[in-house]
């Protein structure tokens, strides 16, 4: 007997692996994506350990029709709504820890169910600072990125990519991958805090010392990773762009990063492996985030996301 499989037409703009784990079209709702908050595990929902980075003020996630003061409503790439990440109007200099509210973070909480092997994260996205003044303000966007937070039987590791757009007002436009510098201690990683919840290699979005050129103790530059992304001529216009990350969970390695028509070969590069955390065995969380570079809100829009496996 022959079987006919009908696929959503929206998948035509993706190139998924054989098994589609999820296809999140935000016209159909949040699809399990939510804000990231600290672990409220202390008495009366207070955090158990002190951290130098205040994670309680990260910007909100909303479903957005991408409406602007001058251009009206963009809608999403396919439909009306996209997932919108919004920072708050605050930022520290790049070489300091991120200010409370200077990041927005979206996460989908999954666990593994397939044999180890290739995994892929695909999305169409757009970004812009808030259209609240005249002039072109591309430099208000510091960085954005995607990653998987994975824990198997032996290790927990973050594996993903970050686009460094601007540092202290100067354009950089280079890709990085999650990979911590060797020799960094847990205390150095957490800005001098003893017994911080986070260990070296985890949560590099806001941990790890930062340097004036855009490098950090938590990321490594992608070879030949400069890319001038399409931004358009003003802050009230957005352009949808394609992003794809391919990894190997059997080898615990990067495979490829594709941004638009650029494909970066990352084969053989390994992320930073840490000891497993309690109670999160089988963790497989896809995530995205955005960070601003000035005291101005910036927005990151995800039209849809596809997570797939071989």
pLDDT at 197: 80
DSSP at 297: -
pLDDT at 55: 86
- DSSP 3-state of 140: helix
CB-based burial label for 188 (10 Å; 0-12, 13-18, 19+): middle
Rounded Cα distance, 93 and 306, in Å: 34
pLDDT at 41: 73
Can you tell me which residue has the tokens 């970066």?
Answer: 264
190-201: b (≥16 Cβ within 10 Å) or e: bbebeebbbbbb
Average pLDDT along the chain, 310 residues, taken 10 residues at a time = 63 96 98 88 71 89 93 93 97 97 98 97 96 87 98 98 98 98 96 89 97 98 97 88 98 98 98 96 98 96 98
Rounded Cα distance, 252 and 270, in Å: 6
Residues 6+ apart with CB under 8 A from 6: none
Can you tell me which residue has the tokens 């666990």?
Answer: 111
Can you tell me which residue has the tokens 């009908």?
Answer: 6
pLDDT at 229: 97
DSSP at 192: T
pLDDT at 5: 55
The model carries a pTM of 0.95
pLDDT at 48: 58
Integer Rg of the chain from CA: 19
Domain layout of the chain by residue ranges: 21-309
Tokens of 249: 């969970």
> CA nearest 175: which of 145, 209, 137, 149?
145
pLDDT at 71: 79
Tokens of 56: 């309680």
pLDDT at 6: 53
Instruction: Note the CATH architecture for domain 21-309.
Output: Sandwich (2.60)
């Amino acid at each position: 007997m022959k079987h006919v499989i009908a696929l959503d037409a929206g998948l035509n703009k993706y190139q998924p692996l054989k098994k589609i784990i999820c296809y999140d079209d935000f016209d159909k709702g949040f699809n399990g994506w939510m804000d990231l908050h600290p672990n409220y595990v202390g008495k009366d929902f207070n955090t158990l350990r002190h951290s130098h980075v205040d994670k309680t003020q990260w910007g909100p996630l909303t479903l957005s029709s991408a409406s602007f003061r001058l251009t009206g409503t963009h809608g999403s790439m396919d439909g009306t709504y996209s997932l919108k990440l919004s920072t708050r109007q605050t930022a520290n200099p790049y070489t300091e820890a991120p200010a409370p509210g200077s990041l927005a973070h979206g996460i989908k909480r999954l666990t593994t169910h397939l044999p180890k092997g290739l995994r892929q994260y695909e999305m169409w996205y757009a970004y812009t600072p808030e259209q609240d003044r005249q002039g072109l303000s591309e430099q208000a966007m510091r960085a954005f990125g995607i990653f998987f937070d994975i824990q198997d039987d032996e290790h927990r590791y973050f594996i993903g990519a970050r686009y460094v757009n601007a540092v202290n007002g100067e354009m950089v436009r280079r890709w990085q991958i999650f990979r911590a510098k060797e020799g960094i201690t847990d205390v150095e990683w957490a800005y001098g805090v003893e017994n911080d919840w986070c260990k070296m290699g985890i949560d590099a979005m806001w941990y790890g010392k930062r340097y004036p050129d855009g490098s950090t103790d938590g990321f490594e530059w992608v070879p030949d990773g400069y890319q001038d992304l399409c931004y358009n001529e003003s802050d009230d216009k957005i352009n949808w762009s394609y992003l794809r990350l391919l990894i190997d969970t059997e080898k615990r390695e990067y495979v490829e990063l594709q941004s638009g028509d650029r494909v970066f070969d990352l084969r053989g590069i390994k992320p930073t492996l840490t000891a497993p955390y309690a109670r999160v065995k089988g963790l497989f969380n896809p995530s995205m985030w955005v960070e601003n570079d000035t005291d101005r809100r910036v927005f990151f829009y995800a039209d849809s996301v596809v997570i797939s496996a071989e």
